[in-house]
Structure 1
């Protein structure tokens, strides 16, 4: 069984995610002496990058609700001698004072939120006036699976609604920031294009739920799997979802 850490490490190696993260660091312009926060830090990869950018006079903090992730991230930071630190916390109740941070980033968290407006207001609270936030998220309505029967794939897509409360998170990021009192500074996007192994791992929960709920039959899954294997063998396949990133500045 693939662990959450393995999945996060696999995702971190996807070229599209790497490109979008590099773009995000460039436009966020986190620099020496800044205080920076990463919400939903996972294994801590991006907080280590932020720690390098803020230097010894700054502060880079990662927050995650999963205590196991916090422990892993702190261990990885210690192993590299990084000054990054990680704490357990709730997206809706960030354990920091008002106006504490110069920059906040939040990647692939909004797709899991039932109340994204509450989270955005909390981000605004912990940012100083003029501070910037970078939101990055997937838009699962853009998911592409090829080859395969279009009807079967369309029914599989309906399962995403049961796994993600904010399925269209990516396209809604700009509006979330605007409504919370941010000015939009930049917008970017990348396709998260997966190789067959990564796609199999990432889409496994969708297949399991679809079969359990009777959305597709075992025969339909067997036929789809056969088509996918044939396509992979001849090099005719595609698995992707589009990710969007929005940089906003907190207005006074």
Structure 2
């Protein structure tokens, strides 16, 4: 695969906290909802031997490894050197490189399959990554983009208003906490065709509940003066009672969007639909076809019909 000269990438995770990040990623990978959604996305991508695949924001490399097993050639792009080292140790079948998600080190149209999981939430403008995905995909290439949407967080039982205030603290944990709901729009605006959208609730019950994380969220809500310390303590007590009664519930929804790069004529057609007709471009791309865009006035420019 042709790879452009590497550029320095922004470091979104501190190297000194690699062990904590790895533990979090491993815990996330073990969640039943994550596993189901990943499986659904992999089946839809239907990666074939000989295809070229990349994993943007590869983390510990679990999905890069799976792509490599299917295609024989997969590259994980991970800017954090600590995580990249873990990925190399865990997967001998995939390759891992440094890289900037906003300027991927790959040539235009050089990739068949793109996997991008929980990257959009770390960026203020994830539309730039969507454009990079569209740029590197070959005509007909496929992409799976997955991310959570913190605005869907649910905590139960307990006072509803207090629970919503605590859940609101999850919005502070990501640069774009609403990334999940924006994926389709970003990919479509980048010129990709949306083929399907899936979702899963990432559920925690009493057996898998991350108490330290929820306590941190509750403390954050107190510091932000959304709730009082007394309300926090009462809410946490309610959660513990719920756990004893097998009624504890915490969830957030994760979305997966499957998209495909349009073929050359479709890409040009999409551009012409957005812009005023270009007779010269019509004659070059669609020679001899009839134009049905009445603004153009060019006989035989070939826009739309026959595409």
User: What TM-score comes out, normalization by structure 2 length?
Assistant: 0.75
Per-residue deviation, 1:198: 4.1
Aligned to 1:101: 111
How many residue pairs get aligned? The number is 245
Q: What SS does structure 2 have at the residue aligned with 1:215?
A: coil
Query: Relative to structure 2, which stretch is displaced further, 180-189 or 156-165?
Result: 156-165
Aligned to 1:220: 231
Structure 1 position 183 matched with structure 2 position 183: no
Instruction: Select which of 35, 44, 69 maps to 1:27.
Output: 44
- Conservation of the 8 A alpha-carbon contact between 1:7 and 1:202: no
Q: How does 1:58-207 map to 2 (within 5 A)?
A: 59-77=73-91, 82-196=92-206, 197-203=208-214, 205-207=216-218
Q: Which runs of 5+ in 2 are unaligned?
A: 1-16, 265-307
Per-residue deviation, 1:216: 2.8
Structure 1 position 53 matched with structure 2 position 70: yes
RMSD value over aligned CA atoms?
1.8
Aligned CA distance change for structure 1 residues 29 and 203 (closer, same or farther; 3 Å): farther
Structure 1 position 242 matched with structure 2 position 264: no
Aligned to 2:282: none
Q: Which runs of 5+ in 1 are unaligned?
A: none
Q: Deviations over 1:184-215 (max 9, x none)?
A: 11211111112344433554553343333333
- Conservation of the 8 A alpha-carbon contact between 2:76 and 2:94: yes
Aligned to 1:11: 28
Aligned CA distance change for structure 1 residues 129 and 188 (closer, same or farther; 3 Å): same
Q: What SS does structure 1 have at the residue aligned with 2:227?
A: coil
Q: What SS does structure 1 have at the residue aligned with 2:210?
A: helix
Per-residue deviation, 1:61: 0.9
Aligned CA distance change for structure 1 residues 244 and 202 (closer, same or farther; 3 Å): farther
Aligned CA distance change for structure 1 residues 247 and 204 (closer, same or farther; 3 Å): farther
Query: Which structure carries more relative contact order (alpha carbon 8 Å, separation 6+)?
Result: 1
- Conservation of the 8 A alpha-carbon contact between 2:33 and 2:203: yes
For the pair shown, which has the larger CA radius of gyration, 1 or 2?
Answer: 2
Query: Relative to structure 2, which stretch is displaced further, 184-193 or 158-167?
Result: 158-167
Per-residue deviation, 1:157: 3.0
Q: Distance in 2 between matches of 1:19 and 1:231?
A: 26
Q: Distance in 2 between matches of 1:205 and 1:66?
A: 25
